[in-house]
Amino acid sequence: MELLIAVGQSLSLLLCSIFILYVATLIRAYRAWRPQPAGRSEDFQWHFLIPCRDEEAVIGLTVATLRQKFPNAHLWVIDDDSDDDTGRIVEAFAGNDELVHLVSRRKPEARTGKGDALNAAYRALEAWLPADTDPNSVVVGVFDADGHPAEGCLDVCSAAHLFGDPSVGAVQIEVRILNLDDRHLLPERGRAANFFARTLLRMQDIEFRVPIAALQLVRRRINTVGMGGNGQFTRLAALRNIDEGNGRPWRGSLLEDFELGLHVLLAGWRNEYTRDTYVAQEGLFNLRRLVTQRTRWGQGNMQCTRYMPDAWSSYHVTNAGVSELTYYLIQPWLQILGTFVYPLPLLAVGITALVDMDGLRSFLMDGGWALFAAYLVVGVGQFAIWAFLYVAANERRSGWWRALGWGMAYTLYTYKFYVTSWKAMIRLMTGKSGWSKTRRNAEVVFDGPVAKEA
């Protein structure tokens, strides 16, 4: 039994050690980042695509804010057969503003996925543009209906190392969470429920601003930057390059943003990422909705593994890039494997305690405790460290004790991936690929499957 315990711990520590090397690489890139000079947004023509389904709770404020911040940018708002007043709200804006365009979709073509909605807006944009438009000077951004980019965002994206470089096909900006300081997210609930909701939002902000940002900064060096669903910008020339002549640059994966970025890379363009600006979005403080969202992401990740052979054979992706892409795409499968491997030491200890307590005591006294201590430190430390980096870079006023608490919470937060990876695999194996949109926090509940698996 002691051998079983040792083998289980060794396997767990091996997987943890591989991940620690990965984390150490990310931390080094994150700490090395420095701001870069901005460019001139006037050098480009900007078009924002905003897919919407039942977004009356947020779309009015979003359109008004974007028009105020970016007066020269065109907004292409896609009403994906909404049941609410989304279309009428946008139509009212469009009637008084020639830079606001409403793209209406109706069943059976509508509600077939975010990628299809974006493709509809892309085709409308192409039909609207003059025939002599220079596609290298046109940039297409994608924002969620609750997306609020920072002032000066377009100047940053126009920088010499971003769209100022003609080899850059797409740029992803940092994502932040909007409603962090709201202490009464659930006014009808008690302190405990509101504390949990605030903590869930904080975990998402940590996730986007530190580990995801660090991963993207590493990817900058090996040209594998991935696109996100909010705050992605793509040069029109790159979109034309990958649309295969059918007006569909978005291909239909549940992770359509990452899929688009991968096709841009495989077409020979360079993707970039910047922390010099950001887009703020609503966080999800409902655990069920968060799990639903992340299951969709996990399934989309699994769907994108079909592109691994293309990446392996591409002259545009380096060996380091292929390694990173492969590791990223198989992560959900590694998390499924981890649900078997990581519990082995604890399972072995439990069995030993039942059948041979004296042997277990002897094993621990002879140094076995050190293995368990290392197991605990590695298992917690590799995740908790992100909270300390988050506080050091963004939240000094919060203090280190709060960083410790957030670090413990973030460790628990990461366990959701074991749940979502299994749910994603089950959906994939059973042929479920449809998905209803995730509800906004401000939305009231009415009939219809929203924020549920389809």
Per residue in 131-144, pLDDT tens?
999 999 999 999 99
Whether the Cβ atoms of residue 454 and residue 437 lie closer than 8 Å to each other: no
pLDDT band at 14 (very low <50, low <70, confident <90, very high): low
- Pair 245, 323 in one domain: no
Lowest model confidence (mean pLDDT) among 65-74, 121-130, 261-270, 365-374: 365-374
Assigned token pair, 295: 């299951």
Domain for residue 450, yes or no?
no
**Domain boundary residue, one of 237, 269, 285:** 285
Domain for residue 445, yes or no?
no
pLDDT of residue 372 exceeding 80, the answer is: no
Summarised one tens digit per residue, pLDDT across range 239-255 is: 999 997 889 999 888 88
- Pair 11, 128 in one domain: no
Domain for residue 229, yes or no?
yes
State how far the alpha carbon of 117 is from the alpha carbons of 128, 171, 347, 403, in Å.
Answer: 17, 21, 48, 40
Higher pLDDT, 63 or 354: 63
Summarised one tens digit per residue, pLDDT across range 27-45 is: 889 989 999 999 999 999 9
Pick from 281, 271, 280, 38: nearest CA to 152: 38
Q: What is the pLDDT of residue 452?
A: 43
Domain for residue 206, yes or no?
no
Non-local (6+) Cβ contacts of 82 within 8 A are 52, 53, 54, 55, 56
The β-bridge partners of 164 are: none
Domain for residue 149, yes or no?
yes
- Pair 401, 259 in one domain: no
Which SS3 state, helix, strand or coil, does residue 169 take? strand
E strand residue ranges, 236-359: 270-281
How many helices (H) and strands (E) are present in the chain, helices listed first? 17, 8
pLDDT band at 449 (very low <50, low <70, confident <90, very high): very low
Q: What is the pLDDT of residue 229?
A: 86
Which SS3 state, helix, strand or coil, does residue 100 take? strand
The rounded distance, in Å, linking the Cα atoms of 259 and 292 is 20
Pick from 124, 129, 119, 86: nearest CA to 103: 124
Q: What is the pLDDT of residue 246?
A: 86
Average pLDDT over residues 390-408: 91
Higher pLDDT, 333 or 6: 333
Q: What is the pLDDT of residue 440?
A: 59
Lowest model confidence (mean pLDDT) among 18-32, 342-356, 397-411: 342-356
DSSP 159: S
- Pair 261, 291 in one domain: no
- Pair 120, 90 in one domain: yes
Helices (H), 76-140: 86-96, 114-128
Q: What is the pLDDT of residue 453?
A: 45
- Pair 251, 333 in one domain: no
Instruction: Return the residue matching tokens 């209406």.
Output: 104
- Pair 353, 388 in one domain: yes
- Pair 15, 118 in one domain: no
pLDDT of residue 4 exceeding 60, the answer is: no
**Domain boundary residue, one of 226, 253, 285:** 285
pLDDT band at 432 (very low <50, low <70, confident <90, very high): confident
Assigned token pair, 56: 């009356």
Peptide bond into 343 cis (omega under 30): no
**Domain boundary residue, one of 260, 285, 310:** 285
Average pLDDT over residues 322-327: 92
Range of the domain at 257: 37-180+215-285
Whether the Cβ atoms of residue 49 and residue 78 lie closer than 8 Å to each other: yes
**Phi, psi of 287, deg, nearest 5:** -60, -40
- Pair 119, 134 in one domain: yes
**Phi, psi of 356, deg, nearest 5:** -155, 75
Q: What is the pLDDT of residue 379?
A: 74
pLDDT of residue 422 exceeding 70, the answer is: yes
Percent of the chain with pLDDT over 70: 89
Whether the Cβ atoms of residue 453 and residue 432 lie closer than 8 Å to each other: yes
- Pair 227, 363 in one domain: no
Pick from 218, 207, 171, 438: nearest CA to 328: 218
Provide the number of structural domains found in the chain.
2
Q: What is the pLDDT of residue 446?
A: 41
- Pair 128, 240 in one domain: yes
Q: What is the pLDDT of residue 435?
A: 63
Percent of the chain with pLDDT over 90: 67
Residue-averaged pLDDT of the chain:
88
Return the amino acid letter for 198.
R
- Pair 250, 323 in one domain: no
Summarised one tens digit per residue, pLDDT across range 194-236 is: 999 999 999 999 999 999 999 999 999 999 999 998 999 999 9
Domain for residue 281, yes or no?
yes
Average pLDDT over residues 44-53: 97
Summarised one tens digit per residue, pLDDT across range 92-106 is: 999 999 999 999 999
Domain for residue 191, yes or no?
no
Domain for residue 442, yes or no?
no
Q: What is the pLDDT of residue 442?
A: 60
Lowest model confidence (mean pLDDT) among 140-149, 169-178, 263-272, 394-403: 394-403
Pick from 51, 42, 232: nearest CA to 124: 51
Burial class (CB in 10 A: 0-12, 13-18, 19+), 239: buried
Pairing of strands 168-177, 270-281: parallel
Domain CATH code at residue 47: 3.90.550.10
Q: What is the pLDDT of residue 61?
A: 94
Q: What is the pLDDT of residue 450?
A: 43
